[in-house]
C-alpha cells in the first residue's frame, strides 16, 4: 500500500512557509486554497491569464507528474478529476526562458523550489474543507503554463487537487468543500483487507477499517516488523487519537485497532496506523466523521 498520505503530511510540515523570496515563488498560504467564488467554468480565453481557483480539469494518465504539461480547463458541471486550489506567481520574469524538465525537477533551482513549495497535503485538506485529522482520498499536482501560454506571457504556477489516492480518478462532484458535504465519505481514505495486507479505497466504498487520520501508533523508530502480540499491544496507544478524530468517546459499534500492512512493505513504510473497525466485524460504506 502506498503511504502517500504520510509522505504528504511530512511535506506539508516542510513546505508550510509563507514568506516571499525575490526571484522565487512562495506557497500561497492556507487562505489561497479557500475559494471565495463558486468553482469556475471554462474560464477566460486569454492564454496569459492567471488560473482561477476552483477551475476544473481532467488530468490524463501520467499527467499528474508532468508540471510542464498542464491539462486544459473543463466545465465543472461535467466529469472532471481535478480543481485548482492555489494560484501563485512562478517568480520568473517576462524575459525568462521556458523551464526545462530538469530545472523543474531540481529543487536546487528557483523554479524547482517553487514547484515543490506550491503544493502540500495542507492545501488538499483545506480546499476540501477538512482539517489536519483527515487523510483525504485526494492528492495534488503542480503545474506551470504550457509553451504556448508561456510565449503569450503567462508566468503563473498553480496547485491542482485531484481526486484519487495515487492517480486521478473521476471526482464524485465538485471538490471544493466536499469534506463538509453529504458526500464527505467519498473524500476520506479507508482500508480494505486485513491488518497485515490491505489496500486503499474511499470510505464511501465497502471497507474494513478507517484510519484515524494520519495518526501513527506508539512504536519506536526503526522498530522491526511487529509480531501479532506487539501489534495488539499497540492498540491502547490509539485511544487519544481516536477521541480526537471522532470528537468524543469511541463511536458505538466500533473498536480501535492497529494495521501495519505486509512484512514486505515494512522496510519502506514502517508505519503502524491507528484505525477504527466495526466491533462485530464486517464492512461499512461510510465514515465515522460523516
pLDDT tens-digit series, residues 80-115: 999 999 999 999 999 999 999 999 999 999 999 999
What average pLDDT does range 185-199 have in this prediction?
96
pLDDT, position 78 = 87
Q: What pTM value is reported for the model?
A: 0.84
pLDDT band at 36 (very low <50, low <70, confident <90, very high): very low
Residue 15 scores a pLDDT above 60: no
d(CA 86, CA 48): 17
Rounded Cα distance between 117 and 19, Å, is 11
Q: For residue 182, give every residue at least 6 positions away whose Cβ sits within 8 Å of its Cβ, in sequence order, or none.
A: none
| pLDDT of 113 | 95
Residue 261 pLDDT > 80, yes or no? yes
pLDDT at position 29 = 35
pLDDT confidence band for 221 (50 / 70 / 90): confident
Nearest-10 crossing angle of helices 121-128, 4-14:
100
Looking at residue 51, its pLDDT comes to 87
Q: What is the pLDDT of residue 45?
A: 60
Q: Where are the beta strands (DSSP E) in 168-259?
A: 189-194, 197-202, 210-216, 254-259
Q: Which residue has the cell 523551464?
A: 99
Given a contact cutoff of 8 angstroms between Cβ atoms, the answer to whether 175 and 164 are in contact is: no
Amino acid at each position: 500500500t502506498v503511504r502517500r498520505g504520510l509522505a504528504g503530511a511530512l511535506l506539508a510540515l516542510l513546505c508550510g512557509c509563507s514568506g516571499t523570496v525575490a526571484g522565487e515563488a512562495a506557497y500561497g498560504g492556507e487562505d489561497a486554497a479557500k475559494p471565495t467564488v463558486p468553482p469556475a467554468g471554462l474560464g477566460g480565453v486569454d492564454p496569459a491569464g492567471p488560473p482561477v481557483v476552483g477551475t476544473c480539469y481532467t488530468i490524463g494518465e501520467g499527467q499528474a507528474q508532468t508540471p510542464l504539461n498542464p491539462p486544459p480547463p473543463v466545465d465543472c458541471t461535467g466529469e472532471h478529476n481535478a480543481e485548482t486550489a492555489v494560484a501563485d506567481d512562478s517568480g520568473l520574469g517576462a524575459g525568462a526562458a521556458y523551464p526545462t524538465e530538469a530545472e523543474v525537477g531540481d529543487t536546487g533551482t528557483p523554479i524547482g523550489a517553487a514547484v515543490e513549495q506550491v503544493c502540500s497535503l495542507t492545501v488538499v485538506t483545506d480546499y476540501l474543507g477538512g482539517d489536519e485529522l483527515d487523510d483525504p482520498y485526494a492528492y495534488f499536482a503542480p503545474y506551470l503554463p504550457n509553451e504556448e501560454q508561456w510565449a503569450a506571457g503567462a508566468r503563473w504556477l498553480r496547485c491542482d487537487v485531484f481526486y484519487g489516492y495515487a492517480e486521478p480518478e473521476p471526482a464524485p462532484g465538485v471538490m471544493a468543500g466536499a469534506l463538509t458535504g453529504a458526500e464527505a465519505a467519498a473524500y476520506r481514505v479507508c482500508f480494505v483487507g486485513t491488518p497485515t495486507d490491505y489496500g486503499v479505497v474511499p470510505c464511501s466504498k465497502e471497507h474494513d477499517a478507517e484510519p484515524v487520520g494520519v495518526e501513527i501508533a506508539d512504536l519506536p523508530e526503526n522498530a522491526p516488523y511487529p509480531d501479532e502480540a506487539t501489534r495488539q499491544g499497540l492498540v491502547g496507544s490509539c485511544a487519544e487519537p481516536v477521541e480526537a478524530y471522532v470528537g468524543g468517546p469511541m463511536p458505538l459499534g466500533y473498536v480501535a485497532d492497529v494495521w501495519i500492512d505486509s512484512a514486505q512493505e515494512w522496510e519502506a513504510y514502517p508505519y503502524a496506523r491507528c484505525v477504527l473497525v466495526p466491533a462485530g466485524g464486517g464492512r461499512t460504506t461510510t465514515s465515522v466523521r460523516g
